[in-house]
């Protein structure tokens, strides 16, 4: 009987387990996971904090339809892989043991990146990556009045919103010249910055943190623009692939130090796969490999790894990271390339931005800005939006990009219309039509 061992039971690991069993009902599936409970997405944490949910454990996800078919080793840690003998050494609650496998799927996820500044080890300096982190931060808010968030990415902005909702004075520090760098172009990110400032968040762009001050617990932050007194600091400085398990093996790492995989999610070692934040797969548009750090991407990678490890045939056509978030009364998201990314890659593009309503104005609270980026021939390369009903724009945008749609072909899409739910002419369609005219003139 084929024995498939999955290390890590987050988004990628759970997807791998599900599709392994769907592909081969005779396979024995074994999961080793360091957590003692199910999946708790980091994306949830800012909202648990914002709304002060007392029982965030209720948001821990378990797939009960699969539990009886999986042999779980909870609260256990895979420590060493022996690819030659197909054995993984595991430390469990009851001691050490060796688990054999026919196929191995590594889904060990990511871990927070801690910037090289002094003071990150002080009390009340937090990251927000695990359920335990979430509970510690939530408890600290009961005593804190002032918070500094270092990093203006997705989690940083969401947590700034959460801390303000809980009544704290918040300073959000970002080293780049806009919020959500790499996700939104600066023109759309400026709308988000204005919304944060209207909600009394102090936003400091192009600011470098030099030190976190304090004796035992944090007392302040030193930046290149001065000192800030604070009761707590949240490090939202990104994550990196968790590849400790493979460091003493011949499994190849990619340019970002994630596990290098092919389109079948196979590593360079036979019968070993990797998926999710710990892996590096190709970008759908550029072919450049990276670790994409998004749950939806991790799920698709885990699905492919699970199918193939069970004897099926599946291909991952490449990541097209679709990002969406919500804070300060705004929805915002993006899929595909931003203008900044395209420029760095030397891709010549044209773009158009439109501001309108996704529902009839009487039913809308917030207008929506839509920005579409295309190459000189009109093929859609990226879509960004901020305002209302953004998820449907980003989801449809991802489909259009994957199908290599030209902006002129938006005429073939008929949008539905109902005044409380939509407009007769959707902002995405208006934007694409305007961009099509620019393509003709270019």
Report pLDDT for 51. Answer: 87
State whether residue 214 is helix, strand or coil.
strand
For domain 114-237, the question of CATH label 3.50.50.60 is answered with yes
**pLDDT of 142 above 60:** yes
- Confidence band, pLDDT 50/70/90 cuts, at residue 60: low
CA 415 to CA 425: how far, in whole Å? Answer: 8
**Interior angle at CA 189, CA 352 and CA 393, nearest 5:** 55
Tell me the β-bridge partners of 78: 90
Share of the chain above pLDDT 90, in %: 86
Report pLDDT for 7. Answer: 98
- Residue 63: is it exposed, middle or buried by C-beta count within 10 angstroms (0-12/13-18/19+)? middle
Share of the chain above pLDDT 70, in %: 96
Report pLDDT for 55. Answer: 60
- Over residues 221-266, the pLDDT tens digits come to 999 999 999 999 999 999 999 999 999 999 999 999 999 999 999 9
- Confidence band, pLDDT 50/70/90 cuts, at residue 38: confident
CB 90 within 8 A of CB 73: yes
**pLDDT of 438 above 90:** no
- Write the CA distances from 347 to 48, 188, 264, 342, 387, integer angstroms: 40, 20, 28, 5, 28
Report pLDDT for 131. Answer: 85
**pLDDT of 371 above 60:** yes
What is the model's pTM? 0.94
CA 128 to CA 353: how far, in whole Å? Answer: 34
For domain 3-41+61-111+240-309, the question of CATH label 3.40.50.920 is answered with no
For every residue of 265-312, DSSP letters joined together read: -B-SSTTEEE-GGGEEEEBTTT--EE----HHHHHHHHHHHHHHHTT-
Q: Where is average pLDDT lowest: 65-74, 208-217, 297-306? A: 65-74
For every residue of 153-166, DSSP letters joined together read: SHHHHHHHHHHHHT
Q: Give the residue extent of every domain in the chain.
A: 3-41+61-111+240-309, 114-237, 329-441
**pLDDT of 57 above 90:** no
- Edge-first strand order for the sheet with 95-100 is 77-82, 87-92, 95-100
- Topology alike, domains 3-41+61-111+240-309 and 329-441: no
Report pLDDT for 62. Answer: 63
Average pLDDT value for residue range 91-104: 94
Report pLDDT for 59. Answer: 62
CA 11 to CA 301: how far, in whole Å? Answer: 10
Report pLDDT for 63. Answer: 60
Its sign, for the CA torsion 432, 433, 439, 441, is negative
User: What is the third-level CATH fold of 329-441?
Assistant: Enolase-like; domain 1 (3.30.390)
Average pLDDT value for residue range 344-373: 95
Average pLDDT over the chain, rounded to an integer: 94
Average pLDDT value for residue range 274-278: 98
Q: Where is average pLDDT lowest: 41-55, 77-91, 336-350, 402-416? A: 41-55
- Confidence band, pLDDT 50/70/90 cuts, at residue 442: low
**pLDDT of 93 above 70:** yes
- Over residues 153-191, the pLDDT tens digits come to 999 999 999 999 999 999 999 999 999 999 999 999 999
**pLDDT of 56 above 60:** no
Average pLDDT value for residue range 98-123: 97
CA 414 to CA 394: how far, in whole Å? Answer: 17
- Over residues 182-204, the pLDDT tens digits come to 999 999 999 999 999 999 999 99
CA 170 to CA 431: how far, in whole Å? Answer: 36
Contacts of 201 (CB under 8 A, 6+ apart): 160, 161, 164, 170, 171, 172, 328
């Amino acid at each position: 009987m084929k024995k498939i061992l999955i290390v890590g039971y987050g988004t990628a690991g759970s997807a791998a387990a599900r599709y392994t069993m769907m592909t081969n009902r005779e396979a024995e599936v074994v999961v080793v996971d360091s957590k003692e409970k199910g999946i708790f997405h980091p994306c949830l944490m800012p909202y648990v904090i914002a709304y002060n949910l007392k029982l965030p454990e209720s948001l821990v996800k378990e797939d009960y339809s699969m539990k009886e078919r999986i042999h779980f080793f909870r609260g256990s840690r895979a420590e060493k892989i022996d690819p030659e003998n197909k054995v993984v050494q595991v430390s469990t609650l009851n001691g050490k043991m060796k688990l054999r496998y026919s196929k191995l799927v590594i889904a060990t996820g990511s871990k927070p990146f801690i910037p090289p500044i002094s003071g990150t080890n002080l009390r009340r300096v937090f990251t927000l990556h695990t359920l335990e982190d979430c509970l510690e931060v939530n408890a600290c808010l009961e005593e804190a009045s002032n918070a500094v968030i270092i990093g203006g990415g997705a989690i940083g902005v969401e947590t700034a919103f959460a801390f303000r909702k809980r009544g704290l004075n918040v300073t959000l520090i970002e080293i780049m010249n806009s919020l959500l760098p790499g996700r939104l172009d600066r023109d759309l990110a400026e709308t988000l910055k204005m919304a944060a400032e209207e909600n009394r968040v102090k936003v400091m762009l192009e600011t470098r943190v030099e030190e976190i001050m304090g004796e035992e617990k944090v007392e302040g932050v030193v930046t290149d623009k001065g000192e800030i007194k604070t009761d707590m600091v949240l490090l939202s400085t990104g994550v990196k692939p968790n590849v400790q398990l493979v460091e003493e093996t011949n499994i190849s790492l990619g340019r970002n130090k994630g596990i290098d995989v092919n389109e079948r999610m196979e590593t360079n070692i036979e019968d070993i796969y990797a998926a999710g934040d710990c892996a590096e797969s190709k970008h759908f548009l550029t072919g450049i490999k990276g670790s994409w750090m998004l749950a939806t991407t991790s799920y698709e990678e885990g699905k492919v790894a699970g199918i193939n490890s069970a004897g099926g045939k599946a291909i991952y056509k490449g990541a097209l990271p679709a990002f969406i978030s919500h804070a300060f009364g705004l929805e915002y998201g993006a899929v595909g390339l931003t203008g900044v990314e395209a420029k760095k890659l030397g891709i010549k593009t044209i773009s158009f931005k439109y501001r309108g309503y996704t529902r009839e104005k009487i039913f809308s609270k917030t207008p929506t800005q839509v920005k579409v980026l295309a190459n000189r021939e009109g093929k859609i390369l990226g879509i960004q939006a901020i305002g209302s009903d953004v998820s449907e724009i980003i989801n449809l945008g991802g489909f259009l990009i994957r199908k290599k749609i030209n902006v002129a072909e938006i005429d073939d899409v008929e949008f539905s219309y109902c005044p409380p739910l939509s407009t007769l002419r959707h902002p995405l369609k208006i934007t694409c039509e305007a961009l099509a005219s620019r393509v003709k003139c270019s």
